[in-house]
Chains A and B, each alone.
Chain A
């Protein structure tokens, strides 16, 4: 079942042309103007030129805030209604999905693929491990031999598979975390943080922090989903999840082995059990193990790219954009502190 984000129903209603926060912001702006006018009149009464200049400057700021509110009202309505297909017409996202649902669609698709591969890896490993680690012991009366006839088939392959499994899981977790992040910021920033930022930008003492919050909201609401959609579109579709491009003769090698001897092992399991090694090698398990190691490594590198590299890249672009936006909105964010998070 597809992951449904809250924002679609909670905020992005088609008939919600003027949401409550926009009205509240207008009221806050009017309150701010009233206060500044009051201070202006007081300054005029007492012939305080400094106070008059301050009030004029603040009125200018209120005017700028009003422009920001109008721009944001349009932008947030656009954010709700902007379809992912507007950004990339050939996208595989359903046409009616907005940019948040679109970005979650890609993240979910990637998570599903990763989980499928992880499950396959686990299934293969749990099947391969007992076969390749079984010990055959024959010690009647305390005299005899013990061997692991199949250990050579997978001993060198298993550590690589374990590492690939770890990488896939890390990629999956990071990806899921991004899904929840998109769900959180698309709802939280549209409903709470952005109105709060606008409200704070209306009044002098909180103007700077308000501008910073608005910049953060714009970064999260517009830049981050765009990056995810773009990476999803060009990454998920153009790259091979489990590429056999660089193991060209894998399938050819596999084709040279017959599976009849492998099935015969279980149908004819008798005292001839020591023949296992030869039979298993004949059945192509060695080729499968070796080939799958490379296929899973390929998938693990894919998980690294989408689970670690791109999120880091997105954060960099987000931080950069937010920093410059916050500068334009009133206060520059200290990027030094933010990059410590990376």
Chain B
């Protein structure tokens, strides 16, 4: 049996035993008020028992069912766009390595999207380097600039913007990825038993309910909501960056007469082609990556926080402002 399941069962039994002990004591001392209170606690212990059973089922069987559902949804989504993938190909595209959980699938999906981001950055970096050189190029004739590379600015500026977006998106991806890793490592072995333990006692019932809602929210609802919105967007992610690079200029031996001018001329000749390639990157690649790694995770986060907010109340706490404060922070 998994450690967290065992720990959860022990805590539920402890909660039962304490409530039963209080009832016995209240009857022994004929204290009606205490008996009433103990019976109320017994009801909470029963609800904790059902909650624990629900969590165990959700995090074991529920995860597998949701995984299969997401797999089918992804395959269907790709099929609608004319891309046929078999279940075996799905396993290759999204290698969860036997860990068939929502959190792992979301992480792997994000990772596959991130590899496109890296390709975009590499392509942009490589293609823009000669243009930065060309942009810095000036020819003086008695303090007058007869020739300058200022006209290459659109490409260098676009490349800088693409890279800024790419780095920002990479940063967000790493945040989400590390958050998911932390949740995967701590949710079941630590937070779930702690939440159930806290919920068992009246003074800490609210925080226990919050912790439980947080576990359910981030371990199950967040990855599920993310994969749902990704697949319901009817636009499966395909990395659309140009297949080929133009033949890059030879930047070596620049002391040779006319070599710098050659690079500058190469820049001028390939200006339209490269600008078109960068636009294509933005249109077909960066947009998709940004939506998949930035916009949709935030949408999933809003769904998760709303879920936590309402579920916290369901689990026995009343914290309307805390969730709002957290959403405000996000």
> A148 and B125 in contact (CB under 8 A), knowing A160-B164, A297-B170, A324-B204?
no
* CB within 8 Å of A: which B159-196 residues: 159-160, 162-164, 167-168, 170-175, 177-179, 181-182, 185-186, 190
**A239–B198 Cα gap in the complex (Å)?**
28
Assess whether B299 is interfacial by the CB under 8 Å rule. no
For the complex formed, measure the closest distance between the CB of B317 and the CB atoms of chain A, giving whole angstroms: 7
Q: Which of A48-56, A123-131, A314-322 contacts B (4 or more CB under 8 A)?
A: A314-322
Contact of B324 among A274, A312, A328, A339 (CB under 8 A): A339
Asked if B181 and A239 make an inter-chain contact with CB atoms under 8 angstroms apart, the answer reads yes
Asked if B111 and A135 make an inter-chain contact with CB atoms under 8 angstroms apart, the answer reads no
> A335 and B321 in contact (CB under 8 A), knowing A239-B178, A294-B118, A312-B326?
yes
**A339–B114 Cα gap in the complex (Å)?**
35
Give chain B residues whose Cβ lies under 8 Å from the Cβ of A243.
174
CB-nearest residue of chain B to A308: B329
Asked if A339 and B156 make an inter-chain contact with CB atoms under 8 angstroms apart, the answer reads no
Assess whether A157 is interfacial by the CB under 8 Å rule. yes
Asked if A278 and B178 make an inter-chain contact with CB atoms under 8 angstroms apart, the answer reads no
Asked if B254 and A275 make an inter-chain contact with CB atoms under 8 angstroms apart, the answer reads yes
Number of chain A interface residues as a range: 35 or more
**A145–B316 Cα gap in the complex (Å)?**
75
**A198–B181 Cα gap in the complex (Å)?**
42
B142, B143, B178, B202 interface centre (most CB from chain A within 10 Å): B178
Assess whether A69 is interfacial by the CB under 8 Å rule. no
**A223–B137 Cα gap in the complex (Å)?**
61
Q: Which of A2-10, A72-80, A109-117, A136-144 contacts B (4 or more CB under 8 A)?
A: A136-144
**A201–B312 Cα gap in the complex (Å)?**
30
Number of chain B interface residues as a range: 35 or more
Assess whether B139 is interfacial by the CB under 8 Å rule. yes
The proximity string for B residues 248-265 relative to A, scoring 1 for CB distances below 8 Å and 0 otherwise, is 001111110001100000
Give chain A residues whose Cβ lies under 8 Å from the Cβ of B202.
328
CB-nearest residue of chain B to A238: B185
Give chain A residues whose Cβ lies under 8 Å from the Cβ of B260.
145, 147, 149, 274
For the complex formed, measure the closest distance between the CB of B144 and the CB atoms of chain A, giving whole angstroms: 9
* CB within 8 Å of B: which A53-94 residues: none
Assess whether B128 is interfacial by the CB under 8 Å rule. yes
Give chain B residues whose Cβ lies under 8 Å from the Cβ of A164.
167, 171
Give chain B residues whose Cβ lies under 8 Å from the Cβ of A335.
319, 321-322
* CB within 8 Å of B: which A272-324 residues: 272-279, 281-282, 286, 290, 293-294, 297-298, 300-302, 304-305, 309, 312, 316-317, 319-321, 323-324
Asked if B253 and A275 make an inter-chain contact with CB atoms under 8 angstroms apart, the answer reads yes
CB-nearest residue of chain A to B132: A152
The proximity string for B residues 88-110 relative to A, scoring 1 for CB distances below 8 Å and 0 otherwise, is 00000000000000000000000
Assess whether B325 is interfacial by the CB under 8 Å rule. yes
Asked if B254 and A234 make an inter-chain contact with CB atoms under 8 angstroms apart, the answer reads no
For the complex formed, measure the closest distance between the CB of B96 and the CB atoms of chain A, giving whole angstroms: 16
**A149–B136 Cα gap in the complex (Å)?**
8
Asked if A281 and B251 make an inter-chain contact with CB atoms under 8 angstroms apart, the answer reads yes
Assess whether A18 is interfacial by the CB under 8 Å rule. no
CB-nearest residue of chain A to B170: A297
> A293 and B167 in contact (CB under 8 A), knowing A247-B118, A320-B207, A320-B210?
yes
A–B pairs, 7, beta carbons within 8 Å: A135-B136, A146-B138, A163-B168, A286-B125, A301-B177, A305-B175, A327-B203
Nearest 7 pairs of A and B residues by beta carbon? A278-B252, A152-B129, A301-B174, A339-B325, A152-B132, A160-B167, A148-B136
Extra contacts besides A156-B160, A274-B254, A301-B171 (14): CB < 8 Å: A142-B142, A147-B133, A155-B132, A156-B162, A163-B168, A235-B182, A239-B178, A274-B259, A278-B250, A297-B167, A300-B171, A305-B175, A317-B207, A335-B319
The interface of chain B, by Cβ under 8 A from chain A, is 111, 114-115, 118, 121-122, 124-125, 128-133, 135-143, 156, 159-160, 162-164, 167-168, 170-175, 177-179, 181-182, 185-186, 190, 198, 202-207, 210-211, 250-255, 259-260, 317, 319, 321-322, 324-326, 328-329
The interface of chain A, by Cβ under 8 A from chain B, is 135, 139, 142-149, 151-153, 155-157, 159-160, 163-164, 167, 223, 230-231, 234-235, 238-239, 243, 246-247, 271-279, 281-282, 286, 290, 293-294, 297-298, 300-302, 304-305, 309, 312, 316-317, 319-321, 323-325, 327-328, 335-336, 339-340, 342
